[in-house]
Amino acid sequence: NKGVIFKAIPDGYPVIGEHIELVTREIDIKNFPLADGDILIKNQYLSLDPYMRSRMRDPHVESYVDAFKLGKVLEGHGIGTVVKSNNKKYQVGDHYHGFIGWEEYTHIPENAISGDEGLEKEISKSELPKSHFLGLLGMPGFTAYIGLNKIGKPKKGETIFISAASGAVGQVVGQIAKIKGLCVIGTAGDDSKIKYLVNELKFDGAFNYKTCNTDEELTKLCPNGIDIYFDSVGGETLDIVLGHLNTNARVVACGMISQYNTKNPYGVKNLMNVVTKRLLIQGFIVLDHYHEMEPFQKEMREWLKQGKLKYKDDIVEGIQNAPEAFLNILTGKNFGKAVVKIC
């Protein structure tokens, strides 16, 4: 059973072999001991997400999600097939959608079963790629939907600016904003991502923040200012955007990935705009909204049926490639939703 363990707490970018490491452990599936209610899963797809970096911390530092345990296998959202079951709800061959380990097989005790029954039935029948249930129709898609609608409160004709726009969350934010009649401008750190945003997702404008001047591009692409900033990066980009926001603009503080691996956090200077422009800057954690999943699932499926949504997954094969794929998210080498196809 190949898997990736959490070996040591990083204080910058995690290093493979030093902080996270691939290990192989014996597993006897036929004789695997299961207590009442437990299941054993053969993992198929594992979602890799930026929040996992925040779990690689000192367990004494409190946060909305527990720290990973040193010496144990890392975990994340995933999809698998039940290969052994002592649980009435799951038969061998059923799909499981919930928390799994970064490994080939995961033993899930009854009290840790987090599967979503409705979604599991749908995954079995659906013609959509299974990976979409971890991205477009999973946590990242839901993050986009909740953040944009609840905090962004988009109105037709407004301008939205999106950072990390080609990523798991950003590509959904942009497309929903287009459906709602907004002018959509995005940024990403690679020219092929920019082409994708403009040519495939029909963004009204996009630029590469690594090769262009963000301030100049925003002046050019958002001549009427910005009404909503969907922020996934924080740092200097947030600082620059503050100067381009309109009165009563909303900042959806979704994430600050530019700060996740640094020992020298960026100090935002343009905060006075919050007062003078009556800005709303609001953070959110998608976990708090899972009870509001139903309208998201309904609306997204409708848009998918109407051909209004596209989604780019970035799939790597084999659990042995999970550590590098995870680092790629933190350095911008992923292009689309990062998923590991385990088998």
Residues that bind ligand NDP in the complex, under the rule CB under 6 A: 49-51, 140, 143, 164, 167-170, 188-190, 193, 232-233, 254-255, 257-258, 284-286, 329-330, 332, 334, 337-338
CB of 131 to ligand NDP, least distance (A): 13
CB of 332 to ligand NDP, least distance (A): 3
Q: At what angle do helices 139-146 and 170-179 cross, to 10 degrees?
A: 50
CB of 35 to ligand NDP, least distance (A): 33
Of 14 and 167, which CB lies nearer to ligand NDP in the complex structure?
167
Q: How many Cα atoms are found within 13 Å in the side-chain-facing hemisphere of 295?
A: 7
CA distance 106 to 335: 28
Of 24 and 331, which CB lies nearer to ligand NDP in the complex structure?
331
Give the CB-nearest residue to ligand NDP. 167
Of 50 and 115, which CB lies nearer to ligand NDP in the complex structure?
50
Of 269 and 278, which CB lies nearer to ligand NDP in the complex structure?
269
Q: Tokens standing for 27? A: 């597993």
DSSP state of 137: T
Q: Write down the H helix ranges in 87-198.
A: 117-125, 139-146, 170-179, 191-195
CB of 305 to ligand NDP, least distance (A): 24
Q: Which residues contact 186 (CB under 8 A, 6 or more apart)?
A: 161, 162, 163, 165, 166, 170, 174, 197, 203, 205, 206
CA angle 121, 143, 158 (to 5 degrees): 130
CB of 343 to ligand NDP, least distance (A): 23
Q: Tokens standing for 42? A: 């053969």
Q: Please count the residues of the chain.
A: 343
Of 82 and 206, which CB lies nearer to ligand NDP in the complex structure?
206
End-to-end CA distance of the chain: 12
CB of 52 to ligand NDP, least distance (A): 9
Of 115 and 140, which CB lies nearer to ligand NDP in the complex structure?
140
Question: Where are the extended beta strands (E) located within 189-266?
Answer: 205-208, 226-231, 245-253
Of 152 and 167, which CB lies nearer to ligand NDP in the complex structure?
167
CB of 150 to ligand NDP, least distance (A): 11
